[in-house]
Amino acid sequence: MLKVVKKAEGSFRQTTILRIVTVVIALFASSLVIAALGYNPVNVYSELFQGATGSLPRWQETINKAIPLIVLSLGISVAFKMKFWNIGAEGQFYMGAMGATYVALNFKDLPSYLLLPFMMFAGFLFGGLWILIPAILKLKLGTSETLVTLMLNYVAISFITYLQYGPWKDPTAMGFAKIPNFTDNAVLPKVLGVHIGWIISLILVLIIYILMKYTKLGYEITVLGENIQTAKYAGMNVTKILIIAVFISGGLCGLAGMLQSSGVERSLSDQISNSLGFTAIITSWLAGLSAPAILIVSILFAILLQGGAFIQSSLQIPASVAEVIQGIILFFVLGSEFFINYKIVFVKSKKEAIK
C-alpha cells in the first residue's frame, strides 16, 4: 500500500526543475482544454505570446502590466516572509493611489521633480498606514490579519467609489462620474515608451533583495517568520520588527497604486487595480517570496495577461480563456508543492508502514 513520507529538502535546482516541469505539464493540460473547446492550442499559445511580445507597442503594454504586479508582489513578499498574511494588497494599492491623487489634485503648482516624489511618498505612506490597522489589531488583540486585511480591501474600494462620485467628482465630466485627470506635472514621464515606473520597480527589486538577504532587518524578519520563540530568545524586539516590516509591505503596495494612477491611468477610479492585488499574492507565492524570482514570474504573468487580452480580439476567444489557463497552471503548481515536499513510498505490509 502507499504511504506518504516527508522528504528531505531538495536542492534549489531540484525544486526549480520540478516547478518548470509542472508548468510544462500544466500548459499541456491547458492545451487539452483549449482543444476541447474547439480551438487549436498551438495557435492559441503562439498568438498569446505574440500578442504580448510580438512588437514594441505590445511589449510596452506587457511591461505596463508587469510594473504594478512586481511592486505589489514585492510588498506582499516582505509581509509573507514574516508570516503576516497580508491579503490586503488590493486595499493598500487603492489607498496609496488615493494619497497620491490627493497630492496631485491639491498641489498642482509644484514642478514635476517635486510633485512626483511627493506623490510617491504619499502613496507609500497611505498604503503603510492602511496596513497598520490590522497590524495593531494583531499585536494588541491577536486578531487574525488574514481576514481584517481582506475586509479592508472592500472598505478602501468603497471609499474610492465615494470619492469618485462625491467630493472628487470632476464637474467638467458632463455627468460622468470621474475624478479629474492629473495635470501633466503629476504624470510619470516615459522612458523607452513606458512610464518610469519600470525603472523604479527594478530598483525596488534590488532594494528588497538586498534588504532581505544582507541587512539586519531582513535577517530579523526571516527569523521572526520562521520561529517566534527563537526570535524572542535571541532578544529581538518583535513589535518593532513587525511594525516596520508590515509598514514596508503596505507602503510598497501603496506605491504600486501611485505608479499605476500616475503612470498609466492619469487619474483615479475604483477599477484601476484590475484585481492585481490578488494576482500579486499568487505571483509572490509562486516566486517563493524571492525578489529576483518575483521579477521573472511577474513578467511571465504579465505576458499571460496581455496575451489573453490580445487573443480576445485577434482570435475571437473570450479573455476568460486566459483566466482559465492561468487557473490550470496555478492549480498544477499548487499541487506540485506536494511532490516537492513529500514522496509516496510503496510499502509491502502494514508492519513496514508503522516503521
Partner 1 sequence: MNEFLSGLSSFLQLSIQMGTTLLFGTLGGILCEKVGHLNLGIEGMMLMGAVFGHYIGLSTGSPLFAILGAGIAGLVGALIYAFITVSLKGNQTVTGLVLTIFGSGIANFIGKILVKNQKSGLLPDRLPVAVADCFKPFKIPVLSDIPVIGKALFHQSIFIPISIICAVLLYVYLKKTKFGLDLRVVGENPAAADASGINISLYKYVHILAGGFLCGLGGAYLSLSFLSTWKEGMTSGLGWIAVALIIFSTWNPLKAIFGAYFFGILRCLPFKIQNASLFGIPISIPSQFLTMLPYVMTIVALVFITLRKKKENSPPAWLGNPYFREDR
Partner 2 sequence: MKDLTGLDFMHLKALDKISFTLNSGEILGVAGIAGSGQKELCEAIAGLQKIESGDIIFKDKSIVKLTPLDIIKRGVAMSFIPEDRLGMGLVANMDIINNVLLKSYQNMPGIFIKRSIGKIAAERIIKKFDISTPSPYHVVKKLSGGNIQKVLLGREIELSPELLITAYPVRGLDIGASYHIYDILNEQKKIGVGVLFVGEDLDVLLELCDRIMVLNSGKIMDIVDAKSVTKEQIGLLMLGHKIKDEEEKHGA
Q: Does 117 bind partner 1 (CB under 8 A)?
A: no
Report the site for partner 1 in 30-69 (rule: CB under 8 A). Answer: 37
Residues 240-279 vs partner 1: string with x where CB under 8 A? --x-----------------------------------xx
Longest alpha-carbon distance in the chain: 80
Instruction: Write down the least CB distance from residue 289 to partner 1, Å.
Output: 12
N-terminal to C-terminal alpha carbon distance within the chain: 14
Backbone angles phi, psi at 316, to 5 degrees: 60, 30
Q: Where does this chain touch partner 1 (CB under 8 A) — which range of 48-56, 64-72, 120-128, 328-336?
A: 328-336
The single residue among 18, 151, 196, 347 that binds partner 1, judged by CB under 8 A, is: 151
Instruction: Map residue 82 onto helix, strand or coil.
Output: coil
Angle at 123 between CA 117 and CA 126, to 5 degrees: 135
Which of 200, 203, 178 has its CA nearest to residue 189? 200
State the binding partner of 119 from partner 2, partner 1, none, CB within 5 to 8 A by kind: none
> 7 with 18: CB under 8 angstroms?
no
CA distance 147 to 149: 6
Instruction: Write down the least CB distance from residue 57 to partner 1, Å.
Output: 26
State the binding partner of 240 from partner 2, partner 1, none, CB within 5 to 8 A by kind: none
Rounded (10°) CA dihedral 99, 82, 78, 242: 40
Q: Does 161 bind partner 1 (CB under 8 A)?
A: yes
Report the site for partner 2 in 196-235 (rule: CB under 8 A). Answer: 214-217, 219, 222-223, 226-227, 229-230, 232-235
Cβ distance to partner 2 smaller for residue 16 or 144? 16
Q: Does 342 bind partner 2 (CB under 8 A)?
A: no
The single residue among 140, 348, 350, 351 that binds partner 1, judged by CB under 8 A, is: 140
- Report how far apart, in Å, the C-alpha atoms of 333 and of each of 87, 226, 286 are: 20, 23, 8
